[in-house]
């Protein structure tokens, strides 16, 4: 586990004191990649969680893959509700990344077995959703529910990109997860983009015709 801020429960605790009981953290993964979907995670933690596994929760970027996959079963077993939502590369190209990210979050919320009473989001609010909400700067690093959502989204998206590597070999999706690594950029230049690349993102935009 890398060093970094330890997420806390103070935002959720303050909301509990205000009378809310179903508080969902939301976060997204894959917003800045050149390929693959954007995935949103939504998690409602149990009230005042104090189990040993809670101490392992960090922003997903601060954890190794094995650490994330170790935490996920605890979230699956003990979260009051947990869900993911996906926006496809086609939707990202058509709607733009901001609207597509919001759509993924709305899909995650709409799939939950419990309707949250309050939302905690990383950095940006979710317009068009009537649920009360707060956007917290660096929320995935400081807020326990948002950090939990980041883990859920990251594990789910990594599996999608592992499968994409089998369907579209050569781009290194199982390693780069669609991010603009030097190897990935070189393979785009050599092979051209595939159907899960984002054709409105540079350097693909303007250099290649759509091949879906």
The predicted-structure confidence for 29-52, as pLDDT tens digits, reads as follows 999 999 999 999 999 999 999 899
d(CA 59, CA 147) in angstroms, rounded, equals 5
- Quote the pLDDT of residue 1: 67
- Quote the pLDDT of residue 60: 97
- Which pLDDT band holds residue 170 (cuts at 50, 70, 90)? very high
In the predicted model, is pLDDT for residue 211 greater than 90? no
Q: What is the mean pLDDT of residues 163-183?
A: 98
CA distance readout (Å), 5 to 57, 60, 77, 134: 11, 12, 25, 20
- The continuous run of DSSP H or E covering 65 comes out as helix 65-78
Query: pTM score, two decimals?
Result: 0.96
How does pLDDT run across 132-144, given as a tens digit for each residue? 999 999 999 999 9
Name residue, tokens 């879906």. 212
> What tokens does 17 get?
């004191």
- Quote the pLDDT of residue 142: 97
């Amino acid at each position: 586990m890398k060093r970094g801020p330890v997420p806390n429960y103070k935002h959720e605790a303050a909301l509990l004191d205000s009378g809310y009981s179903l508080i969902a953290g939301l976060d997204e993964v894959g917003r800045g990649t050149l390929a693959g979907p954007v995935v949103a995670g939504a998690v409602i933690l149990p009230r005042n969680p104090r189990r040993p596994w809670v101490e392992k929760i960090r922003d997903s970027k601060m954890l190794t893959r094995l650490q994330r996959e170790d935490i996920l079963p605890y979230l699956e077993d003990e979260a009051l509700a947990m869900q993911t939502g996906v926006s496809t590369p086609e939707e990202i190209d058509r709607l733009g990344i901001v609207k597509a990210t919001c759509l993924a979050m709305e899909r995650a919320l709409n799939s939950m077995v419990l309707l949250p009473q309050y939302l905690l989001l990383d950095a940006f609010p979710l317009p068009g959703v009537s649920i009360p909400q707060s956007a917290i700067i660096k929320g995935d690093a400081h807020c326990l529910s948002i950090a939990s959502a980041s883990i859920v989204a990251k594990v789910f998206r990594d599996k999608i990109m592992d499968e994409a590597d089998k369907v579209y070999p050569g781009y290194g999706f199982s390693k780069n997860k669609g991010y603009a690594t030097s190897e990935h950029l070189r393979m785009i230049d050599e092979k051209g983009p595939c159907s899960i690349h984002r054709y409105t993102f540079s350097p693909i935009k303007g250099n290649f015709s759509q091949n879906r």
